[in-house]
């Protein structure tokens, strides 16, 4: 086995494993919450990885490099990653996505007005003092 064949076996294995890993991850709830552009990019990139792996397999089995100049489907891998990167840059430019080292935008301080404070706690009203009145004495006749 030549070093070229060993490299293609390694690259083909990595391409297949990565494609199936991405394909399985696309059906999880966590990835379903991602932006649609990212899901499209991962799907297209996964297809490109599969086509690249099949192309490598063809070279390994026949020893002849495949002629795919009419429709280079393996380019989908690069296109998928370009979709993800392009959409991320677009979100950063729009201010909807922050970089990890970027400080969060400053929020203006609210003026110190009584409406911004919590209402004062209600105080218990003191009960009215009740006078105990002794029964009136009857006047003696």
Closest by CA to 55, choosing from 39, 71, 79, 41, is: 71
Average pLDDT on 38-61 reads 85
Q: pTM to 2 decimals?
A: 0.56
Return d(Cα 39, Cα 41) in angstroms, integer: 5
List Cβ neighbours of 8 (8 Å cut-off, separation of 6 or more): 56, 59, 60
> What are the domain boundaries of the chain?
3-94
How does the average pLDDT of the chain come out, rounded? 75
Predicted confidence (pLDDT) at residue 111 exceeds the cutoff of 80: no
Closest by CA to 25, choosing from 46, 3, 53, 6, is: 46
């Amino acid at each position: 086995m030549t070093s070229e064949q060993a490299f293609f076996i390694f690259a083909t294995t990595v391409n297949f494993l990565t494609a199936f890993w991405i394909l399985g991850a696309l059906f999880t709830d966590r990835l379903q919450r991602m932006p649609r552009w990212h899901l499209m990019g991962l799907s297209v990139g996964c297809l490109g990885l599969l086509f690249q792996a099949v192309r490598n397999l063809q070279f390994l089995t026949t020893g002849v490099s495949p002629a795919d100049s009419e429709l280079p489907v393996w380019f989908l891998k690069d296109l998928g990653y370009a979709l993800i990167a392009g959409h991320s840059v677009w979100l950063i430019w729009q201010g909807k996505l922050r970089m990890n080292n970027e400080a969060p935008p400053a929020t203006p301080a609210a003026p110190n007005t009584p409406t911004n404070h919590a209402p004062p706690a209600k105080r218990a009203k003191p009960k009215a003092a009740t006078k105990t009145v002794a029964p009136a004495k009857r006047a003696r006749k």
